[in-house]
């Protein structure tokens, strides 16, 4: 389906606020209400518009939690203690035995920030390997 400039303007307005009235859209694109209604109906029937959605508060929608397992060569958990204090999203860290030297729990505002934290950790001294374990669901076992 070929979209003209009116269709594109109508789509842009609906993407920004799907609850706009036909009257408001008509006023903003300089068309009659019936012309806007017809165009929206055609856009829906052609499946250009497939639904209307609510935008969620980003802080509720995108918070990411993850565990990082860090292996050092040579072992240097004490050296990075101060570096961890510079990252407020690090909520807990445990030096452990086994193949992994350190487990770090992080609560980040979004995936981009989680990636930034991962990059900061990559620059820590003696890091051999970091694995990211993103939390998919929180469940308490009782």
Domain 5-45: assigned CATH number: 1.10.10.10
Q: Tell me, what's the pLDDT at 52?
A: 87
The reported pLDDT for the residue numbered 142 is: 54
CATH classification for the domain delimited by 59-134, as one of 3.40.50.300, 3.40.30.10, 3.30.70.920, 3.40.50.880: 3.30.70.920
pLDDT recorded at residue 57:
58
Domain boundaries, the chain: 5-45, 59-134
Sheet holding 102-108, edge to edge: 90-95, 102-108, 64-72, 127-134
Query: Tell me, what's the pLDDT at 108?
Result: 93
Q: State whether residue 74 is helix, strand or coil.
A: coil
Packing angle, helices 33-45 and 22-29, rounded to 10 = 100
Q: What is the pLDDT of residue 126?
A: 87
Indicate the burial class of 62 (C-beta count within 10 angstroms; 0-12, 13-18, 19 or more). middle
> Facing residues of 105 across strands?
67, 92
Question: Is 105 within 8 Å of 90 (Cβ atoms)?
Answer: yes
Q: What is the mean pLDDT of each run of 10 residues along the chain (142 residues)?
A: 90 90 95 95 92 67 86 78 89 91 93 93 91 83 56
Helix (H), strand (E) at residue 133: strand 127-134
pLDDT at position 94 is: 92
What is the model's pLDDT at position 91? Answer: 93
Q: How far apart are CA 132 and CA 118, in angstroms?
A: 8
């Amino acid at each position: 389906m070929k979209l003209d400039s009116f269709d594109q303007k109508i789509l842009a307005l609906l993407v920004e606020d799907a609850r706009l009235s036909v009257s408001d859209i008509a006023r903003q694109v300089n068309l009659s209400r019936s012309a806007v209604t017809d165009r929206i109906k055609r856009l829906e029937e052609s499946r250009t518009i497939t639904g209307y959605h609510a935008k969620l508060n980003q802080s509720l929608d995108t918070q990411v939690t993850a565990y990082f397992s860090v292996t050092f060569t040579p072992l240097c958990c004490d050296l990075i203690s101060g570096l961890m204090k510079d990252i407020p999203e690090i909520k807990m860290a445990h030096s452990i035995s086994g193949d992994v030297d350190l487990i770090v729990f992080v609560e980040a505002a979004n995936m981009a920030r989680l990636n930034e934290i991962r990059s900061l950790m990559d620059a820590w001294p003696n890091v051999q390997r970091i694995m990211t374990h993103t939390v998919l669901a929180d469940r308490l076992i009782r």
